[in-house]
């Protein structure tokens, strides 16, 4: 039976589902995650790997035939080097969609309505008292709360997650504009009430700009000082995709100058490090890379990952292979 290394704990329901299909090598501690050295040691005699893989891990995996990222993004896997070794790399984009879209909309609402700040105020005052006057509605140096209904959301990256965000945003009464390298079909645009614009047009017209594109070297610092300057004054920026898509220093500058009304971040340029300036800003909402952090979502994701790996190990040509051009 082929062996699959999963560098974290697995629920009993998942182990039971796959017990007759592959031998799962995994962590026994529910809170445990293998570190680099442990993965490098454990990958030696397995046939497939879940998650990150640099050259050292790939070289250690003498019997590796397949790697699958735990999610849609695969920037933490050296897909070119894996391909040169004949190892097929796939991603698992389906299980992440709804949970990540939910988080994007959740932080948009929390940021816009200043929910975190108001909650913190009540914890401090020990009584129900909103900040500011009836029309100023501001209780610190940050921007006042803003209604989302009737505003415009600009979605950068209109794949599965971007479309899921658009669907939810439409339900909240937001106008949807988007940019993607590949324009969506007229049917999808009509169904989602989405209008295609250029990247620059989205930045200039959106009250909320939210990123939902994959990261690669071509779009490193996609959101730089020039891009933030294009955004509407008082607009909000949201990133639940990948940290290096944004220039954190440029974002901080746009926030400190009050050009932007606020930002919500689930990912960071130098993760796990977070800029002290971001941590100190009242108009910034920060979450710990938790886009898919729900139990049911993680179960869906690992099942999709294992199904992909088993299919590759069985010689099937699945559509989610992302390194075909590098395979030898």
Place of tokens 């960071």: 268
Q: 147 an active-site residue?
A: no
Q: Residues 249, 176, 94, CA angle at the centre, nearest 5°?
A: 80
Write the CB contacts of 25 (distance below 8 Å, at least 6 apart in sequence): 3, 4, 5, 6, 42, 46
The catalytically annotated residue of 41, 271, 273, 316 is 271
The catalytically annotated residue of 26, 114, 212, 242 is 242
Q: 271 an active-site residue?
A: yes
- Contact (CB, 8 A) for 130 and 261: no
Q: 114 an active-site residue?
A: no
d(Cα 218, Cα 214) in Å, to the nearest integer? 10
The catalytically annotated residue of 116, 221, 259, 289 is 289
- Contact (CB, 8 A) for 49 and 24: no
Please give the helix or strand (H or E) that residue 7 lies within, else none: strand 3-9
Neighbours of 31 (CB within 10 A): 7
- Contact (CB, 8 A) for 326 and 84: yes
Which of the residues are catalytic? 242, 271, 289
């Amino acid at each position: 039976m082929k062996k699959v290394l999963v560098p974290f704990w697995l629920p009993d329901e998942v182990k039971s589902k796959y017990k007759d299909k592959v031998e799962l090598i995994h962590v026994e501690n529910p809170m445990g995650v293998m570190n680099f050295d442990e993965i490098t040691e454990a990958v030696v005699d397995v046939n497939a790997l879940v998650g990150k893989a640099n050259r050292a891990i790939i070289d250690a995996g003498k019997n590796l035939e397949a790697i699958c990222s735990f999610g849609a993004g695969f920037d933490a896997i050296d897909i070119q080097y894996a391909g040169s070794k004949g190892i097929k790399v796939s991603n698992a984009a389906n299980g992440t969609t709804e949970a990540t879209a939910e988080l994007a909309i959740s932080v948009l609402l929390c940021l816009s309505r200043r929910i975190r700040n108001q909650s913190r105020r009540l914890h401090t005052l020990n009584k129900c008292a909103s900040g500011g006057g009836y029309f100023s509605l501001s209780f610190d140096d940050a921007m006042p709360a803003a209604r989302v209904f009737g505003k415009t959301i600009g979605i950068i990256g209109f794949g599965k997650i971007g479309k899921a965000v658009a669907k939810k945003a439409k339900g909240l009464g937001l106008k949807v504009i988007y940019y993607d390298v590949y324009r969506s079909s007229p049917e999808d645009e009509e169904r989602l009430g989405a209008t295609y614009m250029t990247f620059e047009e989205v930045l200039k017209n959106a009250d909320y700009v939210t990123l939902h594109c994959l990261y690669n070297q071509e779009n490193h610092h996609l959101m730089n000082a020039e891009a933030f300057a294009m955004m509407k004054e008082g607009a909000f920026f949201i990133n639940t995709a990948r940290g290096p898509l944004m220039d954190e220093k440029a974002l901080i500058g746009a926030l400190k100058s009050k050009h932007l009304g606020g930002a919500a971040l689930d990912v960071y340029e130098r993760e796990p490090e977070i800029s002290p300036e971001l941590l100190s800003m009242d108009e910034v909402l920060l979450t710990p890379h938790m886009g898919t952090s729900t139990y049911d979502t993680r179960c869906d994701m690992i099942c999709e990952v294992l199904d992909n790996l088993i299919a590759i190990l069985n010689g099937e040509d699945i559509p989610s292979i992302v390194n075909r051009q590098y395979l030898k």
